[in-house]
Structure 1
Amino acid sequence: MMLISLLLVLAIERSGVKTPHWHIEYYGTRYRSWLTDKGWLSEDSADWQVWLYLLLPALLLGFLESWLLGAFLTFVEQTLILFVCIGCPALRATYKHFLQAADRGDLEACAHYSDQLGHCEEPASEEQTAASREGKTFGQHLTWLNYQHYAAVILWFLAFGAPGALFYSVTRVVHEGFCREGTSQQSATARLLFALDFIPVRIVSFGMLMMGHFSRAFPLWLRYLSDFTVMPGRLLTEVAGQAEVLSPEEQSAQQANAAVEPKVLVRLAKRNILFLMAVTAVLTLTGLLP
């Protein structure tokens, strides 16, 4: 049933345009505002309280599935929740505008659209300076956001159903809101996201090296496999960069057209989603997934 839900959601998401009411950004933002208005979420909230509030919607959804819904209604509900959680219309629109600006050779517009992606970074270590983060290319940043809005949601859905996808998505949305506002709760949600991304980002990056240049990317992936200090975004973008290195012709073309690298990395991300779907199909056929 999970495979059918995934296929339906990805097909509909790719073929249509979502309104704001069909995206988790709308509900996650309103949920955070509701918690703040009630006084339950404030600058003085302990980390465990922030984590509990983020987990609460998933717990309620899990209770609803277990005690009130039958098999068919659960399938319908999981498909709807997954559709709400997956994808990012604003991200896709920004990417299209970036490609158009790059084709025109408008570097100023390219920089503008790159800023529109948002740069809410993970907590930096001592060696991960602001300069190094600013040097992240549009394609690398797009790869990370694609992971957050697609691959990570899929993996949490496969592991824990709709509650898992909801928990990850709400945490991401709330963290982005805290990051934009620079509130103290940002550190709590950042640590939670680090934990939530630890295993999925290694699975997704492994899929990328399987779909790209395995021999070049595997040593880097293996070095980061048990590294508890490397940030998920850094791991993913570095492995993706090794798995899909630009050819000399593409490097030359990149000088004249800034869209070359993003296109290459987006193709890798799409192949990786197909790889995840193929593995999901195999696990479903063998009975390891419902």
Structure 2
Amino acid sequence: MALFSLLIAIFVERMRLLPDAWQFDVILSKYHQALFGDKQVRSTLMMALALLLPALSINIISWFISGMFWGAISLVLWVGVAVLCFSHNQQRQAFKRYIQAACRGDTQACFNYAAELDSSRCLESVCEQDLGERVGQSVAWINYRYYGAIALYLILLGPVGSVLYCTVRFYSEQKRNRQLDLPLVDPLLFVLDWIPSRIFAFGYVLSGHFRQSISAWISLAFNPKADARDIITKVAIEAETLPESSSAPICVQSTIALLQLSKRNFILLITVLSLMTIFGVVS
């Protein structure tokens, strides 16, 4: 079910078949406002409940429908959760607008869309010549956080794992973007990212220049305190040869190179999952 659900989710996401109202983060935002609110989640107990309730609900539903109609209902649940978790129109639109702004030479718009694409890093001190590489790093990171990590949790823990990861990621972004005081979120996300980030970064090693990137992966992967974003972006930079900057105001060649590396890495993940499915390692 993992392979089939993943393929359907990728198809729906690429074709943009899911409307904005059904984006996972939009649904979670409504869930947060309806059941909790900003003040309630400042409590550790309420924050824990807000983080765990969606995954627990999926777990209960999965247990209740297990075996119904020869597993067809369970398959629908897997596909539905995968489609919801993989839909990220906001990030896709921001990247599209960034490329369009770069093509027409609109430097200020490039900085604005780059900040919208990845708000976790400040770009105020980045020069125009380095912006393309920075956005390429953001692309590698977003490819992990919004696709790779979800796929790995879907493979390892099923819909429950994917929903839990997306819920924690949602509250982490709310904490950063809205400057909320939310307990538990960042430590839990660090734990959830610990193994998947190292697995996904090793995919960059296999998808790019092995000799150059394996040393970076080893030095970061075996550091228990290494940040997931540092692991992903630094290994990706070492795994791909970045072209020299052009004379354009904003050079997108580095961005495209790291985007292609991310695509190869995700194809590698799908290939490995297919082999694991064939040999019965995963269902």
Equivalent residues of 2:141, 2:232 under 8 A apart: yes
1:224 matched to which residue of 2? 220
Shift of 1:188: 2.2
Query: How far, CA to CA, are the matches of 1:205 and 1:148 in structure 2?
Result: 12
Query: How far, CA to CA, are the matches of 2:118 and 2:92 in structure 1?
Result: 13
Query: How far, CA to CA, are the matches of 1:38 and 1:105 in structure 2?
Result: 40
Shift of 1:67: 2.3
1:236 matched to which residue of 2? 232
Shift of 1:254: 7.1
1:127 matched to which residue of 2? none
Equivalent residues of 1:29, 1:177 under 8 A apart: no
1:83 matched to which residue of 2? 83
Shift of 1:160: 0.9
Shift of 1:49: 4.5
1:280 aligns with 2:273: yes
Equivalent residues of 1:240, 1:265 under 8 A apart: yes
1:96 aligns with 2:92: no
1:68 matched to which residue of 2? 65
1:144 matched to which residue of 2? 141
Relative distance call for 1:17 and 1:108 in structure 2 (3 A) is farther
Which 10-residue stretch deviates more, 60-69 or 250-259? 250-259
Shift of 1:100: 1.2
The residue type paired with residue 222 of structure 1 is I
Equivalent residues of 1:205, 1:239 under 8 A apart: yes
Cα deviation per residue 1:192-248 (whole Å; 9 max; x = unaligned)? 1111011001111000110000100001101112212111001100000000121xx
2:153 matched to which residue of 1? 156
Aligned residues: 274
Relative distance call for 1:93 and 1:238 in structure 2 (3 A) is same
Cα deviation per residue 1:253-279 (whole Å; 9 max; x = unaligned)? 276542111111111111111000000
Query: How far, CA to CA, are the matches of 1:166 and 1:37 in structure 2?
Result: 20
Query: How far, CA to CA, are the matches of 1:184 and 1:16 in structure 2?
Result: 34
1:182 matched to which residue of 2? 179
1:110 matched to which residue of 2? 110
SS of 1:253's equivalent in the other structure is coil
Query: How far, CA to CA, are the matches of 1:42 and 1:57 in structure 2?
Result: 15
RMSD in angstroms over aligned alpha carbons?
A: 2.2
Which 10-residue stretch deviates more, 254-263 or 53-62? 254-263
2:196 matched to which residue of 1? 200
SS of 2:3's equivalent in the other structure is helix
Query: How far, CA to CA, are the matches of 2:247 and 2:32 in structure 1?
Result: 41
Equivalent residues of 2:41, 2:50 under 8 A apart: no
Unpaired stretches in structure 1, ≥5 consecutive residues: 122-129
Query: How far, CA to CA, are the matches of 2:20 and 2:249 in structure 1?
Result: 36
1:14 aligns with 2:14: yes
TM-score where L is the length of structure 1: 0.88
The residue type paired with residue 277 of structure 2 is T
Query: How far, CA to CA, are the matches of 1:276 and 1:42 in structure 2?
Result: 36
After TM superposition, list the pairs within 5 Å mapping 1:241-260 onto structure 2. 241-246=237-242, 250-253=243-246, 256-260=249-253
- What percentage of aligned pairs have identical amino acids? 28
Equivalent residues of 1:212, 1:243 under 8 A apart: yes
Relative distance call for 1:75 and 1:85 in structure 2 (3 A) is same
Aligned partner of 2:55 among 51, 55, 58: 58
Query: How far, CA to CA, are the matches of 2:200 and 2:34 in structure 1?
Result: 34
